[in-house]
Structure 1
Amino acid sequence: MKCTAKRIIHWEIWRTNRVIYVLVAAITICLTWRNMMKTSSVNPTQQLIIRQELREEISWINNTGPPMQEKTVVLLIANQRSGSTFVGEIFNQNPKAFYLFEPLFPFTKQCKYLEIERVDLLNDFLQCNFDNLKQAYVNAFDRTKFTDKDAECMKNNICFETSHQPLLKNYAKICEYEKDENVDKLTQDGNLKFDPESPACGYPLNTTILGQICKTSDIVAYKIIRLCTIENIELIYKTLQDKGVKLFVVHLVRDPRAVVASRVNLKVDGIRLHNASAETNILCDRYNRNMKYVSRLEADTGSNIISDGRYLRIRHEDFTVNPFETAEKIYRFIGKPMSEEVERFISKSHQSMNRILDRIRREDEKALLEKKEIRNYTRSKEILHQMNNPFGTTRDAKEVLTKWRITLPYSVAQLVQEKCANVFEMLRYKMFNSKLDMVNLTKTYF
């Protein structure tokens, strides 16, 4: 009850502040256009065009968009190194979507550490409430002692700025159009550039403007790897359901062998087994716990994310082999059309290396027909060279499916198969019976 009362008071304060903000913004707009029409060197035709764009871009001041009850909110959850960066781009590249990449980065990957705090903050995010973002990040870093050097969450009020270019572009539209010098910042395609050094519209981002962009977007999506249990999501789902918010959960899974291979520190002369063993225990425990919880929800006759049709499990491998079909499946699941921008992104990301894959496949088939041993280790040098950015989104996704089979020691693969036996059965992954079986890329494993 105390928590509820505090949230009500907090909401009233926010609403009062928003009224003040709208009045200040309206006065600013009037003064901006008066000065602009008097002093701008832009010709009258351009002024009319920019005036119309301004009205459209800041329409959120008078119309905050559809209420949260009518908004599509998507939570993409995955384990680390499961391909979630690429999958998340199908929302990031959608101009009608508000997308945040790893907003829970300040919280440790250890599931039980600051568990309540991260769930509470995510609950706010899913309702486009970023008022507590700054303080929550400060508290999390203070407790975890994590470094913020790479993510710069506290400095920018978003984590990993390079993963938020579409958002920053929208942010610049709203913020910069209210300033006199906005015309000079127009790029050739008529859009405003985000200036990180701008005193008023740079970093740190204004959380009020973030909230407004979120609320006026057709789709709100978050990519999360630091929320370890679906049980936590079910608690959030019930809270949002009581408020009428439509939450959809996309659960991305990947072959545990591939995840372990991607996580551990591989050496030229092999892998440090104790690292692989620790990662395997953590990963398989998490997989088993979540799979069992989903099974319990499936058997439950009450309202939950499964029975309400709000949970979709996607295998990384299926998305990799059929990206268009799987992306369309995700968009059908949330009841939205897939934009042309998303289609172009997927096409561009996969075109670059398909020729290499086709050549390697033909070589494999030829070697098999000639009864020669398929030596993937030599050809893997070319493969690994093309995949030198582990966090990129333009790598050929199909090659990701085979890389771990080349680099992972078979002893580690056996360990994962033993620890995750139930997961392999539930997610329909095939086990390898020998090293030769594993490195033979003509054999599929899913």
Structure 2
Amino acid sequence: MKFLMTNCVMRFYRRIKLTLRKREAFGLITFVCIVLLNILLITGHLRQQSREVYPYGSSHTRKNFIHSGGQFTMTYNQSSLTIKDVPESFKSSAVLKNSSDDVTGRQFEGNQTHNTQSVLVLTSVGRSGSSFLGELLASQGHNLYIYEPVRILKKSDQNEENVRAEILRNFLCNLREDLLGVGKSPSVSIKHPYTYGKTKGDVVLSRIIDYCKMEPLRIIKTIRTRLAWMKPLLDDKYLNLKVIHLVRDPRGSSLSITKVEWTLTTETICSRILEDLEQRREMEQLYPDKYYFLKYEDLCRDPYGRTRDVFRFLKRDTSNEAQRGNASRVGKFHSSVGDFDNNNERYKKNDAGSFNDLPEGVLNYLQSHTHVNILTEKTPWTTVRDTRGIYQKWRQSVTQEQLTDIETHCRGVLHILNHKIFGSVKIARNMSVSLNDENL
């Protein structure tokens, strides 16, 4: 009897033990499934987060890719990174020294190996096409585009030293919180997939800074910087800076400035344009692979061809510039509007067909921003234009008083640009008269 009872107890114990083991196994399996499911969800979220669509038609996924500045690789959550090899002159710069956000010491998650390229789109005054050109460059993707960072400085503080320090600060990704509050949304001043379509409360400055450091290309567009002020930055190899100097006929800029009610006198407009134009020859001699001169009128008449020239300039290697010395490219990329007067057929309908070497995002941008009827333009702030018609639109609206005033103050500028001085609105309105002065 005792044996039978013992045997029953043992069987009961074994069944309970087996049941517990099954439950433990079931619980373990359930736990493992939950963990795997979470891993899959997190991985999918990171993949989605790592793929950002650029507002101008290009997209990218954070993987290995080749850029003109070198190979760029990004791996998340592996190590901390700091900006290294910053010249002592940069570290001691007042704008960095007094900053609470030290550029040279900031750490962020990720692992990057790339040669960052900095591009400055500079024009002497507003209403000259610099917003269009800046967006055009940004449309290729893999970049962070900063729009007019100098404007957060007081006008009284916008001198050579402060402006240069502010440009440097932004190229080194030491961005100011104030930039996020300029305009209706953060993407007005800082254009990147992370900021696009978001409000100020939706973005975090530190993350924008991280993206800035990750991207292989940083673009700044400014109308508040004199060309000569950028020479120290062009001399610095670490910054790897290239400048695109955009100039528009002052008659077109002046009338557009009047339309948007900016308080700039004709004399101020012309003096700023002339000051920068007088630096052009020296810049071409000193920095043949870092400085590019571009006329707005040329870009409008031949948007695809000029864009190709710009991208070839950006891809040009600057490592051997010192050995070339003063091998100037003066006039190599500059051509007058008149060069295209008898060569319009190749640019009429299928513009993109012969320019497949341009990035897809750039072609998409050109297609969507340069073929719009003038009558459909609803705001002077848009970058969507009928580019071949817009650059001479001022000739149909300028008054005799305005024409006389601008041509009097801007005679030197017009001469350097090789543009005709019309003298009377009757001649200006005659579109058969070329804008280019064939006598110069």
TM class by shorter chain equals 0.5 to 0.7
- Separation of aligned partners in 1, 2:251 and 2:280: 22
Q: What is the match of residue 102 of structure 1?
A: 148
- Separation of aligned partners in 2, 1:318 and 1:431: 18
Aligned-residue offset at 1:163? 3.7
- Separation of aligned partners in 2, 1:40 and 1:406: 68
Give the TM-score normalised by the residue count of structure 2.
0.62
Whether the 8 Å contact between 2:377 and 2:384 is mirrored in structure 1 is no
The aligned runs of 1:379-394 (5 Å cut-off) are 383=374, 385-394=375-384
1:115/1:387 CA distance change after superposition, 3 Å:
same
**Alignment of 1:253 onto 2:247:** yes
- 2:218 alignment partner, SS class: strand
Q: What is the match of residue 132 of structure 2?
A: 86
Aligned-residue offset at 1:297? 4.5
Whether the 8 Å contact between 2:187 and 2:198 is mirrored in structure 1 is no
Unaligned regions of 5+ residues in structure 1, if any?
1-34, 138-152, 172-192, 268-274, 354-382
1:104/1:64 CA distance change after superposition, 3 Å:
farther
- Separation of aligned partners in 2, 1:321 and 1:219: 27
Aligned-residue offset at 1:86? 0.9
Q: What is the match of residue 406 of structure 2?
A: 416
The aligned runs of 1:253-292 (5 Å cut-off) are 253-265=247-259, 279-292=265-278
**Which among 209, 212, 229 is matched to residue 210 of structure 2?**
212
CA offsets 1:83-141 (integer angstroms, 9 cap, x no match):
1111111122222121111122223567x7444222212112122232xx24xx5xxxx
- Separation of aligned partners in 2, 1:80 and 1:91: 18
- Separation of aligned partners in 2, 1:394 and 1:335: 26
1:281/1:348 CA distance change after superposition, 3 Å:
same
The structure whose Rg is larger is 2
**Which among 177, 181, 194 is matched to residue 155 of structure 1?**
181
State the AA in 1 paired with 2:361: E
- 1:117 alignment partner, SS class: helix
Q: What is the match of residue 75 of structure 2?
A: 59
**Alignment of 1:127 onto 2:127:** no
Whether the 8 Å contact between 2:233 and 2:239 is mirrored in structure 1 is no
Q: What is the match of residue 196 of structure 1?
A: 199
Q: What is the match of residue 370 of structure 2?
A: 350
- Separation of aligned partners in 2, 1:329 and 1:109: 35
Q: What is the match of residue 9 of structure 1?
A: none
- Separation of aligned partners in 2, 1:266 and 1:345: 25
Cα RMSD after superposing both structures = 3.4
1:436/1:194 CA distance change after superposition, 3 Å:
closer
- 1:334 alignment partner, SS class: helix
- 1:75 alignment partner, SS class: strand
Identical pairs, percent: 19
- Separation of aligned partners in 2, 1:415 and 1:349: 32
Aligned-residue offset at 1:283? 1.4
CA offsets 1:247-270 (integer angstroms, 9 cap, x no match):
100011000111111112589xxx
The aligned runs of 1:10-49 (5 Å cut-off) are 38=34, 49=44
Aligned-residue offset at 1:428? 1.6
Aligned-residue offset at 1:295? 3.3
Whether the 8 Å contact between 2:139 and 2:365 is mirrored in structure 1 is yes
**Alignment of 1:333 onto 2:313:** yes
* Higher relative contact order structure (alpha carbons within 8 Å, sequence separation ≥ 6): 1
State the AA in 2 paired with 1:161: P
**Which among 216, 225, 232 is matched to residue 235 of structure 1?**
232
- Separation of aligned partners in 1, 2:197 and 2:424: 53
Aligned-residue offset at 1:154? 5.4
- Separation of aligned partners in 1, 2:190 and 2:147: 11
Whether the 8 Å contact between 1:105 and 1:159 is mirrored in structure 2 is no
Whether the 8 Å contact between 2:395 and 2:429 is mirrored in structure 1 is yes
State the AA in 2 paired with 1:89: E
Tell me which protein shows more helix as a share of its residues.
1
- 1:59 alignment partner, SS class: coil
Whether the 8 Å contact between 1:252 and 1:313 is mirrored in structure 2 is yes
Equivalent pairs counted in the alignment come to 312
Whether the 8 Å contact between 2:150 and 2:158 is mirrored in structure 1 is no
**Which among 276, 289, 295 is matched to residue 315 of structure 1?**
295
**Which among 114, 119, 122 is matched to residue 74 of structure 1?**
119
**Alignment of 1:221 onto 2:219:** yes
CA offsets 1:257-296 (integer angstroms, 9 cap, x no match):
11111112589xxxxxxx99x6211111112222223334
- Separation of aligned partners in 1, 2:407 and 2:241: 34
State the AA in 1 paired with 2:194: N
- 1:345 alignment partner, SS class: helix
- 1:170 alignment partner, SS class: coil
State the AA in 2 paired with 1:170: Y
Aligned-residue offset at 1:61? 4.8
- Separation of aligned partners in 1, 2:165 and 2:198: 31
